[in-house]
Structure formats: structure tokens, C-alpha cells
Chains A and B, each alone.
Chain A
Amino acid sequence: MAEPIITFKNVSKTYILYKNDQARFKALFIKPKNPKTNKALNNVSFEIYKGESVGIVGDNGAGKSTLLKMITGVAFPDEGEIIVNGKVAALLELTAGFSMEMTGRENIYLKGYILGLEDEYIKQIEENIIEFAELGDYIDQPVRTYSSGMKMRLGFAINVNIEPDVLVVDEALAVGDATFKKKCKNKIKEIITAGTTVLYVSHSANSVKEICPRSIFLKKGTIIYDGPTEETLKIYEESKKKK
């Protein structure tokens, strides 16, 4: 079998909850003794292969966001190892990470460089992005003058047009008006059919069933079940009822 595109090996992540600001200040110099902690991820291991679409389900606070943040390279594990091979595009917080004084076009380049793309390649996809975002002449205006819808459209357009190897999607994604929403949904489907690895986070069972053949159920930072979506959802529903 081919090499996995995402590997999590015994990954754990603990957030330290500082009692107050003094404790936080002290922790800069001395390691805190028996601090209160919140284990966001506990010994999580899985492998995802190229072209797979994997759903991640779980309640709030189950560790979904932490997991995604690690895949996108924003957060880091305390223990264990994460290997991600390839470009990761994240449809999570689309308006974040823009430099407000730079123009839309300059921000395309900024994002591109962060992802390690070359000038030439960005030039190639630049027009696609502008067209998809429907920004027109605004592309050469500073991003701070954009409406929130325009920022989201630009964020979305950049992320889907860089031809990512891994696409991380949060279902709670809001992207402007109904027409554009539809366009986004179609684009995501197009990317999935093109064979891109997709990680799909959701509370709702139906949309996961629609997109992902395989799902992971997270509960309090631990993987309860990892397998076919139908099975996963069954277990997820049962655990909900138990409450």
C-alpha cells in the first residue's frame, strides 16, 4: 500500500489551565507543580491515505478543532508524532490570516508563500482565484476595505485553488450568500472527485454520510471508533442517547 498522507502516532495534547495571571507569569520561569490540565487529545493514532475522505464527528470539546489545527500546522502536540505529506488547505476560519493593509492580490502571494509555493505557480493560479472570488477591481484594494463576505470569498478561493493535497473542511463554514454557497459546495465536491484527501468535520450525520465513506468518532480526546461511516454514526448516536 502507498504511504499515508497523514499519520498520527500516539499524539497527545494537554492544555495547562493556569489558575490566574500570576501562575502564568511564574510558569515562564518554573515548571508549574501539579497544574490543572485539560487533555484535548489522548494517545490518538490513525493513518489517512491519499484520496480518502474521512469524516470527524464528536461533540463540542471532543478535540476536533485541536486535531485539525495540528493537521494544518497551527498547533503542536506535546507527545507523539504527526506527519503530513503535502499542501494542506483549510476551510476553517476563512477571514483569518490576511494582512489587512495588503491588497487582495498581495495576500494571494502571501498565502502562497506560507504554503511554500513558487512565484510562477502563484501567477498561474492567480487569475482563477480572482475570478472565483468574484472580487473584480477590488482585488487591488487593501483587504481592510473588504466586506466580511468578500474576505471569506477570497479566503475560500485561495484555499481551493492552490490544488491542495489535503483539504480540511469545517461544516459550520459560512461563505456569504446562497449563490456563492452553492458554488462553494460544488467546488468542494469537484475537489473530492479529483482525488484530494478530505477531512470533514461535522456535527450532523447526514452531510458526513454524503461525503465520507470512513469516519472517526472522537470523545473527550480519545478515538472511540474509526471505520465505515455507518458504523461510526451508529456508535455516535448511541453514545448520545446514553447521556
Chain B
Amino acid sequence: MIYLFSILNEHRGFGKQILLLAKNELIKTYKGAVIGPFWAVVKPAFTVFVYWFAFSCGIKTLKAVDINLGGPEPFTIDFFTFMLVGIIPWFFIQDSITQGAKTLRTNRQFITKVKFPVSTILTYTSISRLYVHIFLVAIMYIYVAIAVGPSWYNLQFFLYCPLMFIFFLALSWSTAPMSAFSKDFESLIVSIMSGIFWLSGIMYDSYGFEQPVLNFIMLLNPINFFVNGYRNCFLYERPFFDYGTELAIFVAEFAVVFVLGIFNYNRLRKKLPDVL
């Protein structure tokens, strides 16, 4: 408990600075480019196009997806919409995991030169990614509102999105100090990312395997919780508690990641200035 307070304590009275630093992090990412912030849209838009082109036009089999949500009839949706709603949270997740792990190393001037509330570095970089994510969701929502139609279930976004933010922030409490210690750890994370993409239900339905064992294993992947969660909001019109097992597994994992994050951060915090 005392450990948790040490992270909270570092944030106390620093709120305004965190927002300012988050804004500057965005400027740092996009400054100097002619179309500046539009890169935040161009890059994901191109990725979406490539996947859609490869799967719907190239392989030709994936025009529509049927998802068994436990109802009498499977839920049918065209592949593009299905993928889009899943890949938007994935962009945030991917950046959060890879960038989050690197953050302390790239901001080492705040750790080795001056006294700085170190955990806030993870927070403000994370918030700057959240801005981009919300921007992308806004664009996605325009499409969803036209293609699928708005629904009250859309409001669950305000549950899933903050939850996703906190989950991956807590994950970086572990990964960032460990990556600062060992570059190998950082490389490990970066190199498994594309694997994680294909092991998560972004391009396919994670509930749709024929073997029940595989369906259960997919529930263990917390990324699926968020990807399916976004689809609950925008496509399936399903409340977040509808699939109890998925929710329960996630809650347990969340607790583990959170506790481990606090433990690892406090274990390594004081050694950081020595190794960076």
C-alpha cells in the first residue's frame, strides 16, 4: 500500500505540468513535418487500407464476419468495419507497449540530471498517446455512426478507454524500468509485438475458434478484452458484463499487472539513476 502511495505522491500537485508535458510530447512527435498532425491519421489509415486490401481484395475470402455472441443468430458484419473497430484500440495498445517500455530511456535527462517525479514521465507520454487515440476514435465514430448507426452502448467507450489507459500505464511501471536496466528487455518487447498482433483477435474473431480450448486461451489475452470491448461498444451492442468469464479473467489480470507494476517500479526506481 505504501508503495502505491509513492507513485501517487509523485503525481501530487503536478497535474498541470503533466498535461503541459503531454502536449509538448505531441509537438515533439509531429513537429517539422509539412502536414504535421495529419501523420497521426495517415499512418493508421494506410495500415487499415493495406489490411483491408490484402484480406478483402487479395485473399478474397473475408468479405463478412459472423460472430457467435450466444444469441440464436450469429452477428454478421462486413470485414472492414469489424477490423476497423478492433484495430483502432490496437494502435494505442501497440504504441503503449513499445513506446512505454522505451520512455524512461529516451527521457533519461529527467532521471540522471535533475530530481524529477519519475513515474509522471510514464503518465505524460501515455496521455500524449491518448490524445492521438481519442482523435482516431472520433474519426472512426463518424464512420461507425454512418455505417452501423449510433447506439447507447457507444457510451461504454468511456469505460473501456480509461481502463485501457490505466492498464497499459500500469504495465509500463514494470516494463519501463526493466527496459532502462537492460536493452535486451526492450528489444524483447519490440520483437514480439508483431506476433502479439496476430495472436490477438484484431483481424479475426477471438471467440470464433472451433476448439473450446483455443477460445478459452484467447480470453487470457488482455488485448482481446479491449478489442472485443470496443466492438461491444460500437458493433455488438453488448454490455461489458455480458460475458462474465472474459470480464472476470481480465479483472484478475488487471490486479496482477497493477500490483506487479507498483512492485517493480519501487524495486527499481532508486537504481535508475545509476544505470541510465
Contact = CB atoms under 8 A, between A and B. Distances in A.
A66 to B, nearest CB: 9
Given A74-B115, A97-B113, A110 B185 contact: no
A20 B68 CA distance: 52
B24 A102 contact: yes
A42 interface: no
A109 interface: yes
Contacts of A99: 21, 24
30 contacts: A15-B274, A21-B182, A21-B183, A24-B182, A24-B275, A25-B185, A28-B182, A72-B114, A72-B115, A73-B115, A74-B115, A75-B274, A76-B273, A88-B115, A93-B113, A96-B113, A96-B114, A97-B109, A97-B114, A97-B116, A98-B109, A99-B21, A99-B24, A101-B24, A102-B21, A109-B17, A110-B21, A113-B17, A114-B114, A114-B117
Interface residues of A, number: 29
A188 B143 CA distance: 62
Nearest to A70: B273
B184 A25 contact: yes
Contact of B113 (A24, A74, A88): A74
Contacts of A96: 109, 113-114
Nearest to B15: A113
A18 B31 CA distance: 39
8 nearest CB pairs, A to B? A96-B113, A97-B114, A73-B115, A101-B24, A76-B270, A25-B182, A25-B184, A101-B27
Contacts of B114: 72, 74, 90, 96-97, 114
Contacts of B109: 96-98
Contacts of B112: 74
Given A25-B182, A96-B109, A102-B20, 17 more contacts: A24-B275, A27-B181, A28-B181, A72-B115, A73-B115, A74-B111, A74-B113, A75-B273, A75-B274, A76-B270, A101-B27, A106-B20, A110-B17, A113-B13, A113-B16, A113-B17, A116-B13
Interface of A: 15, 21-22, 24-25, 27-28, 69, 72-76, 88, 90, 93, 96-102, 106, 109-110, 113-114, 116
State which size class the interface on B falls in: 20 to 34
A24 B177 CA distance: 13
Contacts of B270: 76
Given A15-B274, A97-B109, A101-B31, A24 B116 contact: no
B135 interface: no
Contacts of A74: 111-115, 273
Nearest to B182: A25
A108 B113 CA distance: 16
A27 B181 CA distance: 9
B178 interface: yes
B184 to A, nearest CB: 5
